[in-house]
Structure 1
Amino acid sequence: MTIATGIGSMPGTDLSEALRIVLDTAGDLPFVPELPARGVHAGMIGRTLALLSGLEADLQPDGWRVGVGEGGDVRRARSLLAQDLDVAEELAHEHAGPVKIQVTGPLTLAATVERPRGDKMLADHGARREISESLAEGLRAHVADVRRRFGRADVVVQVDEPAIAAVLDGGVPTASGWSRHRSVHPPEADALLRNVVEAIVDGGARPVVHSCAPDVPVELLAGAGFTAISFDLGLARPDDVWAETFEKGVDLWFGVVPSTDAPGVTDQLLASRVRTFLDRFGFGVESHAQRLVVTPTCGLAGGSPQWAGRALQLAAATAERLEG
């Protein structure tokens, strides 16, 4: 059975309302929403920094910085996350089946978060390793907490890596803006990702990776141990690496529903795009339906509240259409 889910973010500031929409539209694979409209504490970076173990963070004028002691902003992020999980537990604790949570991956964290003396953690090999290990250790406790709260559910952890292509290609600007950080080579990127994947698996959860960037490094992500790759179909080139990865058992999550308001889009059109992609490689949709998931192209926080619900409905309708 092909199912649908969301990437993570939703518009608005009312988690209960957002979660009710998720449960009504993506009930086969619900997710705990992120509501960045509540502030940086609730965004993908702040939310993930709240999970780090042994590495404290604080919000500075230039953005999040680690290694400067625990600040009020990260405490706020931790409090919001705990409150959100309380609400999710209250509304969905009886859910049986998969339930998804999201975290920012180590490469995107390194490209976004600053070191104690400034500039990104990406600039230093030791800092990159440190944030990966801190995230992995924090995830062990986080996954255990989520599994306790949703005792009948199978936990899926989506690792968001929107900056991965820029990190690998040396496209992340330095603090001055006049140059770029050196690229992180695939063997090191693999090690940084693998730390996180192993923590997820050790915790009894399923690791999935999402990137809405072009040129998703499919082979690298599959090699790091992710069991599914979530991607923006409109940005993906139909290279053979997709077919080879799918044949090796890595599932594909197709981001086809626009993440911002797009009147006139139909589930028929979206389903045809998925079929066209798979047909290029000779994969019949019906025979692989249980390995496909339909999603929006990215988070829905940039759309209207009405579109967020409509987008998830479209994803579910597209998934249903692919089965037939």
Structure 2
Amino acid sequence: MTVATGVGSYPGEDFDETLRLVLGELPDLPHLPELPARGPAATMTGRGLAVVAELGADLQPAGWRLTGSGPGLDHRRARSLLAQDLDALEERAEGLTGAFKIQVAGPWTLAATVERPRGDKVLGDRGARRELAQALAEGLRTHVADVRRRLPGVDRLVVQVDEPALAAVLDGRVPTASGFHQHRSVAHPEASAALEWVLEAAAEEGAEPWVHTCAPGTPLGLLRGAGARGLSVDLAVLSAADHDTLGEALERGETVALGVVPATDPAQDPTDAEVTESVLRWLDMLGLDPHEVGERLVLTPACGLAGATPGWVRRALPLLRAAAGHL
């Protein structure tokens, strides 16, 4: 059957309460919440660096920067915060069976948001971005194994690699530190190779690798070619080519997580019937039967919910679950 899940982020700073909400409202595919309001250690980049193996980082006024040596205080804090969240998950989700999802920033989003030791983005140095991607892949292996140990009853572990910056990386739209120029675009083969290292690391640990992006213009075929077995996208920004790629993915037994409710408070709440109808129209356009796609189709918010109010979050998750049930 079609199920519902979250993209990853939520508002507020109360992890335990958010985890309780996720486990209660998204029982078929719960996930590890991210609460960026807790500070830099809890943002997508901080969370990603907490997973990275071997490389050290610290926090500068301009943001996260690799140190060229050991982890700085804030990097250690990011790792400690992730460990605390996993401890809370292990306690609250004791006995959990079925499926579970974790998220991690992808190699190109990290390269576009983390600086080299001497400044400017990792993206500007081919060797540095290769090293960062490989360190992420190695750290992800350990992270997946740790989650599996903590959730022994879970037989389907999804690893969602978040790549909101990938389209800008490929198009040469990531600004340099000065802000007057942009970093050169990265060729598709190199972008695919770095993603492949990370997705393959997840798959080799027995997890199901997905890639999430809510940025328009991301080449979904590149993600599939790199090894993504699930694509998480925002329905509202899809192009004609995207529709074709997603339809092919569903036909080949891969997962599509479709963002169908707003990521921030709407002027008027949609009903579960309206959400269901929008998905049915999309499937009809692709020539697919909702009964045939089954659990390969997942409903999500359009993007992370960190910018939403807690009230909308409490309405959006049941709305997704109800629409998934109708399908």
The alignment partner of 1:271 has SS state of helix
1:222, CA displacement in angstroms? 0.5
Aligned counterparts of 2:232 and 2:289: Cα–Cα separation in 1: 19
Counterpart of 1:47?
Answer: 47
Distance (Å, rounded) in 1 between the aligned partners of 2:326 and 2:208: 26
Cα RMSD for the two superposed structures:
1.1
Match of 1:14 in 2: 14
Q: CA deviation at 1:244?
A: 2.7
Q: Secondary structure at the match of 1:208?
A: strand
Match of 2:259 in 1: 255
Question: Retained in 2: the 8 A contact 1:4–1:315?
Answer: yes
Q: CA deviation at 1:245?
A: 3.1
Residue 267 (structure 1) aligned to one of 253, 267, 272: 272
User: CA shift at 1:309, angstroms?
Assistant: 1.8
Deviation at 1:235, TM superposition (A): 0.5
Question: What count of residue pairs does the alignment treat as equivalent?
Answer: 322
In 1, distance between residues paired with 2:185 and 2:253? 29
Superposed CA offset, 1:22-45 (max 9, x none): 011101111110111111111111
Measured in 2, the distance between the counterparts of 1:248 and 1:66 equals 40
Answer whether contact 1:222 1:250 (CA < 8 A) is retained. no
Task: Could you list the structure 1 runs, at least 4 aligned residues long, displaced by more than 2 angstroms after superposition.
Answer: 238-250
- Which residue of 2 is the match for residue 197 of structure 1? 199
Work out the CA distance in 2 between the residues paired with 1:87 and 1:114: 31
Matched, 1:172 2:174: yes
1:112 and 2:113 equivalent?
Answer: yes
* Compared CA separation, residues 246 and 287, structure 1 to 2 (3 A): closer
Aligned to 1:59: 59
Deviates more, 1:269-278 or 1:15-24: 269-278
Q: Which amino acid aligns with 2:128?
A: A
Letter in 2 for 1:81: L
1: CA distance between counterparts of 2:80 and 2:105? 18
TM-score by length of 1: 0.97
CA distance in 2, matches of 1:128, 1:247: 34
Structure 1 counterpart of 2:291 = 286
Distance 1:278 1:182 in 2: 38
Given that 2:111 and 2:122 are in contact with CA atoms closer than 8 Å, whether structure 1 keeps it comes out as: yes
Aligned to 1:307: 312
Report the TM-score, using the length of structure 2 for normalisation.
0.96
What secondary structure does 1:226 align onto?
coil
Matches within 5 A, 1:87-102: 87-102=88-103
Greater displacement, 263-272 / 212-221: 263-272
For residue 108 of structure 1, report the CA deviation from its aligned partner.
0.5
Pairwise CA distance, 1:137: 0.4
- Is the 2:172–2:182 Cα contact (8 Å) retained in structure 1? yes
Distance 1:47 1:194, change over 3 A: same
Cα contact 2:250–2:296 (8 A) shared by 1 = no
Report the Cα offset of residue 97 of structure 1. 0.7
Structure 2 residue 223 is matched with structure 1 residue 221 = yes
Q: Deviation of residue 68 (structure 1)?
A: 4.0
- 2:183 maps to 181
